[in-house]
Structure 1
């Protein structure tokens, strides 16, 4: 069962709806309801997409945490570069 909603439209908007409704052979009320339903479906889909996106982000962020490294390790660029050069140059046959 549908619900009744009373709207106040400008003369210009009502005239456009009335003309279009006559052209396709339905009442202005039915055309307005169809337009509103179509528009709200698109809005709700965008809203649901955003809700789904936020839920996915929350699931992803659930995996965030901290890393505790017991070894004394340097994380500056020069040390990292030196480690990479050493590894790339190694044959790993030791």
Structure 2
């Protein structure tokens, strides 16, 4: 997620940041954002307790399910190979 921030900078500070961005060949906004990000690194998330970990795992696993493909799109290799061989050998009316 990203947010937009409008800043008013002293001319001297702006000139220094602008010059450094030009020296690096990157946009001023990108350089200023990277300076702020270096000053405020992301806060590491605390490790989950065993109970919290189990709850998170259960919440994730509730999205698991079954999918019955049926014979039309079966996943056994023999049937796939047969279908491919049939398609490759069929001229599809091209002569």
TM-score bin (small chain) = 0.3 to 0.5
Pick the structure with greater CA Rg: 1
Name the TM-score, length of structure 2 as normaliser: 0.43
The structure where helix makes up a greater share of residues is: 1
Name the TM-score, length of structure 1 as normaliser: 0.43
